[in-house]
Structure 1
């Protein structure tokens, strides 16, 4: 479990067992646990939403929907320390700079954030907020919050395993070394268990109404979300590889961030179809 706790500590602000002595092998070994780390985040997101939408109103505290949407937007950034958002902004700065491959990589390595990164991040946050605001009125909110970090971390494993690394060295290179085919297949297998099993249990105990998000709807929606996320990851990673000669740690973060948005958007579409 050492590798899991190291991955949890690196990808989030959660430090259950603080690890101070890390090596590249520890990072490589942690890749297989990324979807499980997403499960921890998904449970926290859904639990916090239940607190805001159920527990507080039952105790006389009713927050406006736009405030709840804002809190749910900020929560992932706080729990992850903005790690993936930083990678997203650096990636946007590099890819949209219109420079040579070498210059793009230099721009992405620069600790300063450029205009492209800021504009892209602000627009993405506005888009995410608007999706969350609509999902608050849907039965799909909790499945979306639960699945979002699991699926996005699986897609990080896909990007790490299936695409080359752009730099000879770097933090992301350590993860790349752990992205074997067996790790990828294993991550897919237990991700399916993680996203399917809660729906089966919820339907069995009547937590999920059959007319809103029953077992068949849950299984179909989760399958569709994973498939859509996989197609997007292949497209974006291929685009980045074509321009950068491979992927970097920043691109891994960008894929995670954009896939989270895609998952939320997918569930918003499901809510519109089921209405």
Structure 2
């Protein structure tokens, strides 16, 4: 329970117990519970989607509020990692300079533009999604996104000699991946074949994305963890939104 609470309070704005001192072991053991943290977020997102669709209907305001909610509940942690990644990777500099840019707390033009474009894409995907798919999509989205983070942590080398992300990487092992994968499957599969497809494609995408980044930077960083999470979540929304254009297909998958 302690490890889960460490992960919950690090990845979200939920502060259930007072924790002033966190050790490297606490951070490392919490990694396997990241999909469970995603499940907690998924419940919040799904309930919000149900209430908004019920009260406001499926309109632009509903999509905007559902875009804002993850930023509020996570404190923009993963969005910050995505913007830092865009600033560094798209800078066109050498490896060391890219890592320096990513470490800079200031957000550059590449990060801002990339994040705005990402928000536009997510807005369109939510707005085009069938209302009946909103709840399952927003429940499984953070679960699959946090599994992507676990894969980034455990399956790829860390690009820097130190850093907070290295604390997670040093403690992650095969059992971490196995536990995270098992819990993700447990949370996702009950939602049907479409959710299962999102899990498969999300996993493949996360691995390919981190492999590409490793080729560019020689490894991954804490910012890459956030970027992998955000991009994988966007892919999940894309799969559910695309299925909305083919109701017969997703109807069969839902069963």
Alignment TM-score, normalising by the size of structure 1: 0.88
CA drift of 1:234 comes to: 1.5
| Residue of 142, 158, 161 corresponding to 2:135 | 142
| Residue of 144, 165, 172 corresponding to 2:165 | 172
Q: Is the 8 A contact 2:95 2:216 kept in 1?
A: yes
The 2-side partners of 1:64 and 1:184 are apart by 37
- Gap runs ≥5 in structure 2: 249-255
The 1-side partners of 2:111 and 2:31 are apart by 27
| Residue of 197, 200, 203 corresponding to 1:230 | 203
Q: Which residue of 2 aligns with 1:31?
A: 31
| Residue of 103, 112, 121 corresponding to 1:127 | 121
Q: Is the 8 A contact 2:67 2:122 kept in 1?
A: yes
Q: Which residue of 2 aligns with 1:196?
A: 189
**Quick check: 1:163 aligned with 2:156?**
yes
CA drift of 1:221 comes to: 1.2
**Quick check: 1:67 aligned with 2:61?**
yes
Q: Which residue of 2 aligns with 1:252?
A: 225
CA drift of 1:63 comes to: 6.0
Q: Which has the larger radius of gyration?
A: 1
Q: Which residue of 1 aligns with 2:179?
A: 186
The count of aligned residue pairs is: 248
Q: Which residue of 1 aligns with 2:253?
A: none
The 1-side partners of 2:177 and 2:132 are apart by 31
The 2-side partners of 1:179 and 1:247 are apart by 14
- Provide the secondary structure at the position in 1 that maps to 2:223: helix
CA drift of 1:77 comes to: 0.3
The 1-side partners of 2:78 and 2:124 are apart by 20
Q: Which residue of 1 aligns with 2:251?
A: none
Q: Deviations over 1:10-62 (max 9, x none)?
A: 100011112111111110010000000000000000111122122xx3xxxx3
Q: Deviations over 1:190-243 (max 9, x none)?
A: 21111123x3xxxxxxxxxxxxxxxxxx1x212211111112111110111111
Q: Deviations over 1:140-175 (max 9, x none)?
A: 111100000000001111111110000111000011
